[in-house]
Structure 1
């Protein structure tokens, strides 16, 4: 015999048999007793159905709430991963030279504990322009070869800025600009970024004559 899927089949079976007994008996006393039991069974069945319905509604609400929390959690995780990835990528591809911690950067310890002199960057000599540009190129990549492997092309452009191109053999490896305010900019194809707003070359930092 297959098992019924009706969770209330026991109560409904008792109610059915009580109703059947009431219709079969002619004894008034027995009818009253059976009627009392019938009402009691019906009331118990209604209460059980109400409790089960409330339990199902609570379970549905709990599942929906848990699902919403999971959606919010995973959304926040994905957003956090994207933000962290963007930060790491931006730091890797666009290092901020102005905020470079020289004391904690072992490759640049050669310039720590040095005193910088005050230089008027609006009135630099050719040698000072070359020195300033090469110093910041060295900051970008401390492993580059010495300056005597490069040569410098210093000129005044159309907007009266001092431009310096740094070449290795016949290939331009970097381009810098000193504007009218004496600020040094690193130039790329798609960007112009200020790397110094004043002379920041240590006094004992020397550059070989790269054009020799």
Structure 2
């Protein structure tokens, strides 16, 4: 997803500048995620900081914790009425933008790299209309898988979605980073080696 954004730059200088700027923006999650969570815990200890499974179950329908409602609790109890709607719109826009990027990247990978190999055809032997239909169907398939996976996430980690996301990133980020670095630094790497490396890395990450 991030690589696709860089490839959309006007030239190399813009790509490098955008990457550096995005790196500096990575400091913002400390102020946007951690600090609001600490403030919410301090202001609403009986809601966000529940430590008894029965209490947490009654508040947020989770026996582990109520960390997921820390930010919404701040919005509901502190912001005025107009800003509440604005924040909801911002959160929905960010969610839709992130999902669009992920689905677009996954659809591009499937239609360009995987689907032609499944059909034993070259990329230029498949019509663009067929690729477009396959890409849209794959997006629908990913949406269904995502919806079906929600109960699994809730059952495994309760309300701690952030912890689950970080664990998933820990499984998949190392092999992807290795493939990108080797592709840049080593000229002998090929598509088969990159694919095998990713699969081995994903398997070890899941284990």
* TM norm. shorter chain > 0.5: no
More strand by share: 1
Please say which structure displays the higher CA radius of gyration: 1
TM-score normalised per structure 1: 0.22
More helix by share: 2
TM-score normalised per structure 2: 0.22
